[in-house]
Each structure stands twice: as structure tokens, then as C-alpha cells.
Amino acid sequence: MDRKEKYERRQARKAEKERALEEARLEQERLQLKKDKKYMRQAITQAKKAAAIGEVPIGCVIVKDDEVVARGYNRRNADHNTLSHAETVAIRRASKKLGDWRLEGCTMYVTLEPCQMCSGALVQSRIDRVVIGCDNPKAGCAGSILNLLDMPQFNHRVEITRDVLKEECSAVLTGFFKELREKKGREETGNEGREEA
């Protein structure tokens, strides 16, 4: 075997190794996305609970070691409480369940990009990662208006994954507001009818 042949074999082994690594990485990403979708579906279930009581449908779950440790959905009007956003409800419950205000090792799955309060609470909780369904261009604070989850000035930064089941998460919200408008329309028509009678 001459030098050239040896060199080519080495190169081939190197390429093979890189291909295997890349495949393993892709496989891991595929598995992670599968898992992310599974938990986002559970967050959507929570969002629908909010819609059922007439609240803006936003839902979330918090997962640790492949187990759901807390769930939450928006009940700000029902509870008469600023702190009853889906995320803050779930953070409170997870803290209680884990017996610690630190949510290290946890991931939150939330259907809509968190607001300034919930993004702040996520940084304060020292959660590892947040998986977001759809963005909130008008009020989101995990990248839209600003990104509180990833500021070098704070003592904790949260890993973000976006656009997981984006369309489904968005559809829950648009469906809710469409129904609200239609209901309002019907009521207005109804009122006019009564006035005419």
C-alpha cells in the first residue's frame, strides 16, 4: 500500500465517521422534535380548557425527566388575578410539586410566546428550556418585542425552541377570536331585532 492509498483510506474513514455523527445528530433531532410535539399537544389541550371558560386560549405544561410535573391554562378573568396566565399557573404548581423555586432540569411547552411577566418568571425560575408554539408579534418577550429569556445581563439564560406545532397553536387562538366576533355579531343583530320589534 503506497502513501497515496493510505491517505485515501484515512480520508474515507474520516468521511464515514462524520456521516455517522451527522446521522446520529439528525436522529436525535428527529426524536427531540417528536417529543416536543407530544408535549406541545398536551399544552394545546390546556389551551382548549381556557377557551371552554371563555378565556383567551393559551396553555402550557412543564416537563422534567420525561414526566409532566405541572399544567396551566390562562384563567386571568376567572381568577380575577394578574398572575393567572398559563405559564405563571404552571410555574407555581411545578415549584410546589418539586418543593423548590428553582425549576432546573425542566422544560416548558407553551402554545403562545410568553409576555414580559411570564418571560421574567421563567428567567427567575431558572428553567432550562422553553418550547414555543406560535409567536406573539405584538406583546411577546421571548424574541418579538424583546428577548428576556436570553439577555447576557441576567444571571440565567433560557434555551428557546420555536415554531413547534405552530399552525395548530395559532389555529386555537384564531378560532377563539373568530367565534367571539361571530357571537358578538349575533348579539348585536339580536339587539337590533329587539329594538325594531
Considering the complex, what minimum distance in angstroms separates the CB of residue 131 from its own copies? 19
The CA distance from 160 to 128, in Å, is 9
Which residues here bind its own copies, judged by CB under 8 A?
A: 76-77, 79-85, 88, 91-92, 95-96, 98-103, 115-121, 123-125, 139, 141, 145-146, 148, 151, 153-155
Question: Distance from CA of residue 43 to its chain's centroid?
Answer: 8
The CA distance from 80 to 76, in Å, is 6
Closest to 143 in 3D by CA, of 169, 173, 165, 122:
122
Considering the complex, what minimum distance in angstroms separates the CB of residue 96 from its own copies? 7
Contact between 52 and 75 under an 8 Å Cβ cutoff? The reply is no
132 half-sphere exposure, CB direction, 13 A CA radius: 23
Considering the complex, what minimum distance in angstroms separates the CB of residue 119 from its own copies? 7
In this complex, which beta carbon is closest to its own copies, that of residue 21 or of residue 78?
78
The CA distance from 72 to 47, in Å, is 8
Considering the complex, what minimum distance in angstroms separates the CB of residue 17 from its own copies? 44
In this complex, which beta carbon is closest to its own copies, that of residue 59 or of residue 140?
140
Residue linked to cell 436522529: 27
In this complex, which beta carbon is closest to its own copies, that of residue 115 or of residue 164?
115
Contact between 55 and 74 under an 8 Å Cβ cutoff? The reply is yes
The CA distance from 51 to 80, in Å, is 16
Catalytic residue among 22, 67, 87, 167: 87
Known catalytic membership, residue 159: no
In this complex, which beta carbon is closest to its own copies, that of residue 44 or of residue 122?
122
Q: Which residues are catalytic?
A: 87
